[in-house]
Amino acid sequence: MYRWLAIVLAAASPSASAADFPSRPIRMVVPFSAGSASDLLARMIAPRLAESWGQQVVVDDRPSAGGTVAGGIVAASAPDGHTLLLTSSAFAGSAALYDKLPYDTLKDFAGVTLVAVTNLVLVTGPNGPKTVKELIALAQQKPGQINYGSSGIGSGTHYGGELFKLAAKIDTVHVPYRGVPEALTDTMSGRIHFSMLPTLVASPLIRSGRLVALGVTSQQRLQAMPEVPTIAEAALPGFSYDGWYGALCAARTPRAIIAKLSREIGRIIMLPDNQERIAREGSTARASTPEQFDRLVRDEIVMRGKVFKAAGSKAQ
């Protein structure tokens, strides 16, 4: 009853709510492990947001079930803007792949802003194949025996792996992890043959030699790693993939509060030092309006559904 009353009051006076917002600490829920790209971006935004508004901003990592546990937390939160979801394109992937979720992706959330777009990099351990063609040849020689890691079912790294599988016409086994750091560890050790990982977290390990970069999913080579060919030029003409990160809140949050969040998070992510830091790791800082981000999510759900269906991917 009390929650229902709070929702009604918030909807009745959005301007006053926005003027008083935030009135307590903000919780930024991340659906992946500490050290994941989503986590790194959240921790880039949180201190600047706290500085702007004089309220603590807590980053809460909740890695499980491809991000759906974190999504459920935010969907069930009070619609007042104090609980945010800082997620990746896995948000759309889960909606495309899972028959049942603890929330309705399109009805229980409101987009706040896009935060960054990224490409993936195809990586192996130091003892793995050294080129995309070598990896494809190995998979063709051993159908059903070559595995790849991802940050979870429905994640952008899962989607990228399935896109690669379809384009290369190979039979590979998907091994989902709780997050990117776990997939990184097993790829470096050779327990996983390859992974398609965000450049934001893979770049330092490539530079140190603990991972070998075979190709990037961008249409052109990245300034952050110019020596690494695109997958298209290395073996699969026309192949490309762009992932994204963004912030959402519970549906029914007053539009004035969403607009205030969007403007401030967008301002922070586009600060020159943040842009430079993100670009250094092969990604691009990018803000949007709430409406643009909502439209992106809707379109991505449809597109990812088609790819997962073609690849025979299923939620486990």
Q: Say yes or no: 137 and 98 in one domain.
A: no
Q: What percentage of the chain has pLDDT greater than the value 90? A: 78
| Domain interval for residue 100 | 2-117+243-311
What pLDDT is attached to residue 314?
79
Q: Say yes or no: 200 and 254 in one domain.
A: no
Q: Is the dihedral of CA 132, 134, 139, 145 positive or negative?
A: negative
What pLDDT is attached to residue 9?
43
Q: How many domains does the chain have?
A: 2
State pTM to two decimals.
Answer: 0.85
- Residue 316 pLDDT greater than 80, yes or no: no
Q: Say yes or no: 79 and 148 in one domain.
A: no
Q: What percentage of the chain has pLDDT greater than the value 70? A: 94
**Neighbouring C-alpha atoms within 13 Å toward the C-beta of 77:** 24
What pLDDT is attached to residue 66?
66
Q: What does the pLDDT average to over 108-120?
A: 96
Q: Say yes or no: 30 and 80 in one domain.
A: yes
Structure confidence by residue, pLDDT tens digits, 300-309: 999 999 999 9
Which position has the higher pLDDT, 68 or 59?
59
Per-position DSSP letters for 28-90, written without gaps between them: EEESS-TTSHHHHHHHHHHHHHHHHHSS-EEEEE---GGGHHHHHHHHTS-SSSSEEEEEETH
List the CATH number of the domain containing 303.
3.40.190.150
Q: What does the pLDDT average to over 124-142?
A: 97
What pLDDT is attached to residue 155?
86
List the CATH number of the domain containing 159.
3.40.190.10
Structure confidence by residue, pLDDT tens digits, 235-273: 999 999 989 999 999 999 999 999 999 999 999 999 999
Per-residue pLDDT band for 15 (boundaries 50, 70, 90) equals: very low
Q: Say yes or no: 7 and 110 in one domain.
A: yes
Question: Cβ(212)–Cβ(126) under 8 Å?
Answer: yes
Q: Say yes or no: 131 and 113 in one domain.
A: no
Domain boundary among 199, 215, 234: 234
What six digits make up the tokens of 153?
Answer: 């079912």
Structure confidence by residue, pLDDT tens digits, 192-215: 999 999 888 899 999 999 999 999
